[in-house]
Amino acid sequence: MIPYHSDNAVIELRRLHRSFGKTRAVNDVSFSVPRGTVFGYIGPNGAGKTTSMRILATLELPTLGDAYVDGFSVVNDPDHVRRRLGFMPDAFGTYPSVNCHEYIDFYARAYGLAGRQRHQRVRWVMDFTRLDGIAEKPIRGLSKGMKQRLCLGRALVHDPAVLILDEPAAGLDPRARIELRRMIRALAEDGKTVLVSSHILTELAEMCDRVGIIEQGRLLATGSVDEIQRQQRTHREFVVRVIDHRDTAVQMLESNDHVSHLIVDGELVRFQYEGDVTHQATLLASLIAAGVSVAEFSSHARSLEDVFMQVTEGLVQ
């Protein structure tokens, strides 16, 4: 079977639909993820994230459309897809009577690894996930963080090109989340393509190269956080501290076409500004030239959480 390739895309959804009765869990979703990219998939509960991921993992069939993993169709070539993909679901089954090493080794055998190759992959997975120190520990005695490492190890044991991680940081303590984030970035730097969903948007903002925002089954925006901000005409928020001639500053700002949502709070003047850095420099220079005593002139781009709240409406289905 010859794989289908679209530029450098390793994950590609093409007009994907999935319906359950009258509910359209995934409604005409299309996006692609290049090799070596960490793609954050975010949306409210019931938005269609898990359904999309299950389709990519060949656990669900689309109603319409198709998805490709490393060039192979999830509809026509599911066996080829499974060899190239590692799936980490939000909940997974374990066997309480086996230990960590036995668990990983079992899945290595299930993927057809044998002999020296199997031993090398199991050893690498145990080392990468830092489970080697507890290799003989029964699974029933593992913490939530260690169980998540074990599930990630299971997804990695056959050396897939693509990883699909559904809420991998759910229930983890701060240290475990940081360590998981570092592992995901290391995998991307090694050339693996990662699609990860999470409700912890600050985590995604720090680890992801690109994000996709989905609600009620529809993809609302995709790209880097900066790109989505530009798509949504998201302005930067500015704070100016004025210690003299405040009224002059307010009049100048109110007459500026790039300024909106101006609020005066004592010495502080807050507003949203859509101009680029050249316009920002010109604005500051004009305030100073008009005799305004500016003690502070600062801005910050809106976070992924801000963008998420702007793009979505909190709708469920």
Residue 311 has pLDDT above 60, yes or no: yes
DSSP one-letter code for 133: G
Q: Looking at the structure, do residues 74 and 116 belong to the same domain, yes or no?
A: yes
CATH number at residue 18: 3.40.50.300
The boundaries of the domain holding residue 163 are 9-224
Q: Decide which of 196, 224, 252 is a domain's last residue.
A: 224
313 in a structural domain:
no
pLDDT surpassing 90 at residue 274: no
Tokens of 149: 């490492």
Asked if residue 203 belongs to a domain, the reply is yes
| Residue 228 near residue 40 (C-beta atoms within 8 A) | no
Compute the average pLDDT of residues 81-99.
Answer: 87
Q: Which residue has the higher pLDDT, 234 or 174?
A: 174
- pLDDT over 50 (residue 2): no
Q: Exposed (0-12), middle (13-18) or buried (19+): which is 123, by Cβ within 10 Å?
A: middle
Tell me, what CATH number does 283's domain have? Answer: 3.30.70.100
Q: Looking at the structure, do residues 167 and 239 belong to the same domain, yes or no?
A: no
Domain boundary among 195, 224, 253: 224
The closest alpha carbon to 102, from 128, 137, 147, 141, belongs to 137
Q: What is the pLDDT of residues 202-227, one digit of tens each?
A: 778 788 899 999 999 999 989 887 77
Total number of domains constituting the chain = 2
**Three-class secondary structure of residue 89 per DSSP:** coil
Q: Please state the pTM of the whole predicted model.
A: 0.78
Q: What is the pLDDT of residue 41?
A: 93
